[in-house]
Amino acid sequence: MSKNWYCRLAFVAVALAFVVVILGAYTRISDAGLGCPDWPACYGHLTVPASHAAISHLDKIYPDRPVQPSKAWKEMIHRYFAGTLGLVILGLAIWAWRRGRKDGQPVGLPTILLLLVIFQAALGMWTVTLLLRPTIVMGHLLGGFAILSLLWLLAVRSGGFLKLGDEWQANWPRWLALTGLIVLICQIALGGWTSSNYAAYACPDFPTCQGQWWPPMDFRDAFVLWHQAGIDFQGGILSNNARAAIHVTHRLGALMTFIVLGSASVGFIIAAPSKRLKAIGVIVGVLLLAQIGLGISLVEFGFPVSVAVAHNGNAALLLLSVVTLNAAVWRGRVVEAESAATVKQGSLSSI
C-alpha cells in the first residue's frame, strides 16, 4: 500500500465514522437503543429474527423486551457499520506499525485510534447491558466524536493537508481556537446528556422554557452521574424540573459556544495571514450558525427526528472544522519549536 492509498483509506474511515455517528444519533433519537437486548448479537442472532415462530419464542425469553423488528434493525445496522469501521481502523494501525515512521507516517495516532475503538465497543456493550445509563450513553457519543476527529487528523496529516505554510506570530489565535474547541466539546457532552436523559422535550418553547425565562428547575438531581444499579433508563427517570434544568443548561452552553466560536470565526476571517485560514474561519462561522438554527428549529417544529439527526451531524462537522483550525494554528508553533531545536543543535555541533 502506497502513502496515497493509505491516505485514501483514512478518508474512507472518516466517511464511515461520520455515518456511524449519524446512525448512532438516529438509533438513540428514535428510541431504538434497546432494539436488541443483548450484545453483540440481536436476540441471539447475527441478524434480526424474521420468522413468526422465532419471534414468539424470543418474546418468552425476553418478556420485558418483545421483538420489534423496526427498532432492532436500526440498532443492528448501526452495529454493522461500527464493526466495519473497527476493521478499517485495525488495517490502518497494522499498516502504520509495518511501515514505521517512513515518509512521516504517523504511528502513535493509529495506535490510539485502535485502543479507542476497542473501548468504544465496550461502551456500546455497556449501553445495552446497563439499560441506557445516561453516563454510558454520553460517553459512547463522545467516543464516536473523538474517533471521527482523530481519523480526520490522521487523514489530513497523511495527505500533507496541514502544511498550510501559515505563520502567525501572535499567540491569541492559538488560545482562542483551543478555548473554542474545549467549549464545543463541553457543549457536545451537554447535548449527549440532554438526549440520554430525554430532556429535549422539557422546554417545548423558545426562547422561553415552559413559558418562563427561568422555570422551576432541579439542578441537584439533573447532573447525578451515576444512579443505583438495575434501573431501566429508557424514557428517562428524572422529574420534569430536573429535565428542565438540563435543557436550560444546554441552551446557556449554546450561547457560550456561539460567543466563543463566533469570536474565533470573526477573528480568523479578519486577521488571518492566509486565505486558507480565513476560509477555515468562514466554515466554522457557517456551521456554527447552522447549528444554532437547527437547535431552534428542533423546538419550533416539535423535535422531529430528521432535524435532531441533522443537529447531531452538523455538530460533528462543526467539531471537525474547529479541530482543523486548531491543527493548523498549533502546527505553526510545533514547526517553530522544531526549527529552533535544529538551529540550536547545529550551533552546538559547530562549536
Selection from 199, 13, 166, 196 nearest residue 88 by Cα? 13
Q: Map grid coordinates 423496526 to a residue.
A: 70
Which helix H or strand E contains 327, and what residues bound it?
Answer: helix 305-350
DSSP per residue over 186-230, as a string? HHHHHHHHHHHTT-GGG--SSSSBTTBSS----HHHHT---PPTT
Distance CA 58, CA 137 (A): 26
Selection from 42, 238, 222 nearest residue 128 by Cα? 42
Distance CA 144, CA 130 (A): 19
DSSP per residue over 84-138, as a string? HHHHHHHHHHHHHHHHTTGGG--SHHHHHHHHHHHHHHHHHHHHHHTTS-HHHHH
E-only strand ranges, 12-64: none
With the C-alpha atoms ordered 214, 218, 220, 223, is the resulting torsion angle positive or negative? negative
Asked if residue 205 lies in contact with residue 298, where contact means CB atoms within 8 angstroms, the answer is no
Strand partners, 266: none
Answer yes or no: 75 catalytic: yes
Identify the active-site residue in 75, 300, 336, 338: 75
Q: Cβ–Cβ contacts within 10 Å for residue 128, how many?
A: 18
What is the set of active-site residues?
Answer: 75
